[in-house]
Amino acid sequence: MEPIWRPHLEHLKALGINTIRLYAVDPTAPHDKFMCELSKLGIYAFVGMAAICEGCYVLDTEAPKCYTDAMFTRAMKIYNAFAVVLIANKGFSVGNENNLGTQIEKSAPCVKALIRDVRTYADKCNGSLRPVPIGLDNADIDTTLHPRASWLGYYDCLKDGNENTRAEWIGFNPYVECDTTIHVTYEDSKGLQKLVSDYKQSKYSRPIVLGEFGCIKVVNTVSGIEQQRNFYDAKWMNEAPDMTEYVVGGIAFEYSVEKANLIDKSATPPFAAADPGRYGIGYFTPDNCDHEGVPCKYNKYPEFTFLADAFKTTKPSTINSKSFVPTRTTTMTCPANFPTVALPPTPKGKDSDAKISLMRMRGRGVVPILECSVYQPKCNGGLANKQQRYTPDNSTTGAAKLPFGAVAPTTLAPNAATTNGSGTAVASAALLVLVGMLAMTI
């Protein structure tokens, strides 16, 4: 894979980004070299745990059927593969736009259960691996039945008296700033102002990431290429006071054109005509390249430069994690318009339940809780997984971080609002201070 990704490091450097988002990865392949090269450039990665393959995502069906044993095993493998690279991993996402399915919110308990189990696994591995924030990316659904605050509320609220049922960060994929030829300041963008207002009114206390942004419903032709985005919003989210207060950063979508997503299947490079499926800031040639038998060359659109200009002129954050004091500390309550069913149980593993019936073993098999990696990859002249460990402060949350198979020793109501421990809020915020980000896949 190195001959494929290495040539693109210079393009990432030219963009001035500090974070990329990896949608799908192979948990059985080595990624140390790629992650170490990112760290040399000062670039972090959000790593997706789901993928489009059998057993690789939360199913679009009601709980508990939507949570498969294979997905939990995959998540543990990915955590082990990427958490060892201390300086390049910013967060894990358990799913992308699960709320776009036909069931909408009905599969949400499975997503929340997966968050719980990955966080619990991270706790188990805290002695050998750095804790990495666990969250998810939602489609930006904002309807009367499911307003933005309801998605924040469901993934922030406490279930079963277990702190680990709460996401440590939440991503949305909003495409609300589309008129980049007229909207030249944040004050011009009513869509972004409404977005931020909704976040503000929710009083959500943990980091919000724009998991994707970059609306292509624009009329702007540059050098013969239609729908070129100016990416003013890439600068606003890091400088406009309203946005910096409630959004920690955003990921520009996306690095290269995905021909399979184009509406016009007959289009050929440079894909100059406007197309609802063309989001890349660049494209590959020749048209039949496959990165193997036929090498691919990356070509930049004019908007590549516009995005780079936005990122490179952004002033760096002045937030100091050691002195940062959160002003929003209340845990949200579970919204009434979401399923109230119990979260699906953790797939049974060897250290969670020793009394597994023969019927279950034959029917579903036993899902082992994987051993935590003690691997120490060398990166930038040192060990990538050598660092001081810490335990987030949950002393004031009103809920414990429960191990696999444990029952909460608390009388706290399932939907009761609680108060975040400041240590947890600081740790999450400090790990997710972002400037320029870009979406890509390896």
pLDDT in tens, 243-288: 999 999 999 999 999 999 999 999 999 999 999 999 999 999 999 9
Residue 419: which region, alpha, beta or left (left: phi > 0; alpha: psi -120 to 50)?
A: beta
**In 193-296, which ranges are E strands?**
208-213, 249-252, 282-285
Q: What is the mean pLDDT of residues 421-434?
A: 34
Split at pLDDT 50, 70, 90, the class of 123 is very high
Q: What is the mean pLDDT of residues 372-390?
A: 66
Structural domain including 198 reads: 2-440
Q: What is the mean pLDDT of residues 313-327?
A: 83
pLDDT at 409 over 70: no
The answer to which of 95-104, 376-385, 392-401 has the lowest mean pLDDT is: 392-401
Task: Tell me how far apart the alpha carbons of residues 44 and 48 are, in angstroms, rounded to a whole number.
Answer: 13
pLDDT for res 403: 73
Task: Tell me how far apart the alpha carbons of residues 175 and 143 are, in angstroms, rounded to a whole number.
Answer: 15
Task: Tell me how far apart the alpha carbons of residues 16 and 27 are, in angstroms, rounded to a whole number.
Answer: 28
pLDDT for res 190: 95
Task: Tell me how far apart the alpha carbons of residues 94 and 97 are, in angstroms, rounded to a whole number.
Answer: 10
Considering its fold, how many domains does the chain have in total?
Answer: 1
What b/e sequence results for 149-166 when a residue is b if at least 16 CB atoms lie within 10 Å of its CB, and e otherwise?
Answer: bbbbbbbbbbbbbbbbbb
pLDDT at 320 over 90: no
Split at pLDDT 50, 70, 90, the class of 435 is very low
Split at pLDDT 50, 70, 90, the class of 86 is low
Q: What is the mean pLDDT of residues 372-397?
A: 62
Q: What is the mean pLDDT of residues 371-389?
A: 69
Task: Tell me how far apart the alpha carbons of residues 220 and 140 are, in angstroms, rounded to a whole number.
Answer: 25
User: pLDDT tens digits, residue range 181-230?
Assistant: 789 999 999 999 999 999 999 999 999 999 999 999 999 999 999 999 99
Split at pLDDT 50, 70, 90, the class of 398 is low
For the chain, give the percent of residues with pLDDT over 70. 83
pLDDT for res 129: 86
pLDDT for res 353: 38
Q: What is the mean pLDDT of residues 360-368?
A: 51
pLDDT for res 366: 59
Task: Tell me how far apart the alpha carbons of residues 23 and 32 are, in angstroms, rounded to a whole number.
Answer: 17
Task: Tell me how far apart the alpha carbons of residues 249 and 233 are, in angstroms, rounded to a whole number.
Answer: 11
pLDDT at 16 over 60: yes
Identify how many contiguous H helices and E strands the chain contains and give both numbers: 12, 12
User: pLDDT tens digits, residue range 139-180?
Assistant: 999 999 999 999 999 999 999 999 999 999 999 999 999 987
- CATH number, domain of 61, equals 3.20.20.80
Contact 23, 96 (CB under 8 A): yes
pLDDT for res 363: 38
Higher-scoring residue by pLDDT: 364, 319: 319
For the chain, give the percent of residues with pLDDT over 90. 67
pLDDT for res 358: 30
Higher-scoring residue by pLDDT: 276, 340: 276
At residue 425, φ and ψ (nearest 5 deg) are -65, -45
pLDDT for res 438: 57
Task: Tell me how far apart the alpha carbons of residues 202 and 221 are, in angstroms, rounded to a whole number.
Answer: 38
Q: What is the mean pLDDT of residues 314-318?
A: 80
